[in-house]
Structure 1
Amino acid sequence: METDATYRGTVYPWQCDHVGHMNIMWYVGKFDEANWNLFARLGLTPSYLRGSGRGMAAVQQNITYKRELLAGDIVEVRSRLVEIRDKSIRFMHEMRNAESGKIAATCEFVGVHMDRQARKSAPFAPAIRDAAEKHLEPELA
């Protein structure tokens, strides 16, 4: 997949908890922003989602916290698509302290392609599936 980050930002003091590190709710938020940038690379752009009546729903999310992030730290998330199925995708995010390069957290998501009107899962359009298959990076054995 492209080497560009799917998210870049900064940890602000108001995102830190009583222990002094970024609170878990902000990790989730930054990973969510990375989701939308990853989706756009696959063709799941806001205009596609609005125009097609489709959406994406997270059905599973597993976060591993490895190192603290502190106020002022610059954060970068890089993402990779691990699996695509008829109606779902599985992908990984890796959040790093951009200065040190050390991994702060990882997150694995499973997202389901939805028909917003029917309120149920729907197959990906062929163009989306083709784009996703070009970006597929299966897990290392």
Structure 2
Amino acid sequence: MSGEIECYRGVVHPWLCDAMGHMTTRHYIAMFDDGSYHLLAALGFGPDMLARRIGFADVNLNTSFKAELAAGDLIVVSGRVEKIGGKSMITRYTMRNLASGDVAADLVATTVQFDLSARRAIEVLPEIRANALRLFPEAEIAAGSMD
């Protein structure tokens, strides 16, 4: 979709399913989490920032389950930045069934830029902000942190 980037592709394996034959909620979250690393990398987050002890921390996750996934289903997760504040950003991830195109789930995350040594939120780095606005020009810019 326009305004999103692909963050993850996978398959629903039988061992990811519950007794009713559907992928369990914990595995949706794991796939969204894997996708978040790819979105953050697209924004410029990488090993150099970890070396500087700068990271990200999710402070709120809101998941909506919309369609069931079963063993053998191929999935793709896309993501985008929706809003950037002073110390945080809101991202949205959408998981689709590749064969049908149906949305299986959405996850909206509030994530703060984080000083890993001081263990506190810090201002979103200028290069992260610039990359987010370049990739997602429709993202809303908020005056301050959204947490």
- TM-score for the superposition, normalised by structure 1: 0.92
1:113-128 equivalences under 5 Å are 113-128=113-128
Mapped partners of 1:3, 1:91: distance in 2: 10
Partner of 1:135: 135
Alignment match, 1:66: 66
**Structure 1: which 4+ aligned runs deviate by more than 2 Å?**
1-4, 135-139
In structure 2, distance between residues paired with 1:68 and 1:50: 36
Q: Partners of 1:98 and 1:40 in 2: how far apart?
A: 23
**Separation in 1 of the partners of 2:45 and 2:23?**
30
- Alpha-carbon distance in 1 for matches of 2:92, 2:57: 16
Is 1:48 matched up with 2:40?
Answer: no
CA RMSD of aligned residues (A): 1.5
Q: How many aligned positions are there? A: 138
SS of 1:43's partner is: coil
Shift of 1:40: 0.4
Aligned residue in 2 for 1:19: 20
Q: CA offset at residue 51 of structure 1?
A: 1.9
Counterpart-to-counterpart distance in 2, 1:51 and 1:106: 32
Shift, 1:4, TM fit: 4.5
State yes or no: 1:91 paired with 2:83. Answer: no
Task: Give the match for residue 76 of structure 1.
Answer: 76
Letter in 2 for 1:82: E
Alpha-carbon shift at residue 125 of structure 1 (Å): 2.0
* Cα shift readout 1:87-133 (whole Å, capped 9, x = no counterpart): 11101011000111110001100001100000000112211211112
Which of 130-139 and 22-31 deviates more?
130-139
- In 2, the alpha carbon distance for the partners of 1:127 and 1:54 equals 13
Amino acid at match of 2:109: F
Alpha carbons 2:81, 2:92 under 8 Å: kept: yes
Deviates more, 1:50-59 or 1:14-23: 50-59
Q: Which runs of 5+ in 2 are unaligned?
A: 141-147
Looking at structure 1, the residues matched to 57 and 26 of structure 2 have their Cα atoms a distance apart, in angstroms, of: 18
Is the contact made by 2:5 and 2:80 (CA closer than 8 Å) also made in structure 1? no
Residue identity over aligned pairs, in percent, reads 36
- The answer as to whether partners of 2:4 and 2:80 remain within 8 angstroms in 1 is no
Query: Cα deviations across residues 52-97 of structure 1 (Å, max 9, x unaligned)?
Result: 2111111000000011000010010011110111211101011000
Q: Is there any run of 5+ residues in structure 1 with no aligned partner, and where?
A: none
Q: CA deviation at 1:16?
A: 0.1
What TM-score results when the alignment is normalised by the length of structure 2? 0.88
